[in-house]
Chains A and B, each alone.
Chain A
Amino acid sequence: AQSVTQPDIHITVSEGASLELRCNYSYGATPYLFWYVQSPGQGLQLLLKYFSGDTLVQGIKGFEAEFKRSQSSFNLRKPSVHWSDAAEYFCAVGSWDTPLVFGKGTRLSVIA
């Protein structure tokens, strides 16, 4: 069965600092991988997705993620964090015929 692990429950970074959120997945075939962001009281917004091809994918709001098959990872990065990036971030794995399975999320706090 597919699963997603986000090892960090809560991360705090200073505004302007770089960010990396970790995601490890378990899936039997080539997965579809996603990162979503959720602000308080809101639904989930898609940041970026990986289906195939280039393993470094660019998303919205300056985020990027790199698919590393050998490490079963899909970590999310941003070179310079803004205060508005404070939110909950979810990694998810699925495929064409299996629905998405989400990790438990990483809460990002941004300090001045």
Chain B
Amino acid sequence: EAGVVQSPRYKIIEKKQPVAFWCNPISGHNTLYWYRQNLGQGPELLIRYENEEAVDDSQLPKDRFSAERLKGVDSTLKIQPAELGDSAVYLCASSLDRGSPLHFGNGTRLTVT
């Protein structure tokens, strides 16, 4: 089966600019996650979707971050405007359902200058 696909792999932007990340989960996986991984740290959850509904977004900085999962398949994560502290790897993961093991994409490495 094809894995979780993320794009772009790398993104360099200046602060205050907008940026968007895209994720295509494994076919048939109902649950989709966005994690942020800072350098030398473990991934931290930003938002979790069950189909097209965001069921856990308590860690998403809603003043500048937004996410959507149209039709319960692909998802986009947006930051506007970006800040220097947003530099990190943004990981998308999917699972068959809640409680099932997560399958991760290769991530998008964001650098904000």
Contacts and interface: CB of A to CB of B under 8 A. Distances in A.
B101 A103 contact: no
Given A43-B104, A43-B107, A46-B102, A99 B41 contact: no
Interface string B15-50: 000000000000000000100000011111100100
Contact of B102 (A42, A96, A100, A103): A100
B56 to A, nearest CB: 6
A96 B101 contact: no
A16 B73 CA distance: 44
Q: What class of interface size applies to chain B in its complex with A?
A: 20 to 34
A74 to B, nearest CB: 15
Contacts of B106: 41-43
Q: A-B pairs with the 3 shortest C-beta distances?
A: A102-B42, A43-B104, A96-B99
Given A99-B33, A99-B56, A44 B99 contact: no
The DSSP consensus for interface residues of chain B is loop
A96 B99 CA distance: 4
B99 A43 contact: no
A7 B44 CA distance: 18
Nearest to A100: B102
A102 to B, nearest CB: 3
Interface residues of A, number: 24
Contacts of A46: 101-103
Contacts of B45: 99-101
A34 to B, nearest CB: 7
A4 B53 CA distance: 28
A43 B105 contact: yes
19 contacts: A4-B42, A34-B102, A36-B104, A42-B106, A43-B4, A44-B102, A45-B104, A46-B102, A90-B42, A95-B99, A97-B98, A99-B45, A100-B102, A102-B42, A102-B43, A102-B44, A104-B41, A105-B40, A105-B41
B40 A44 contact: no
Interface string A80-112: 000000000010101111011111110000000
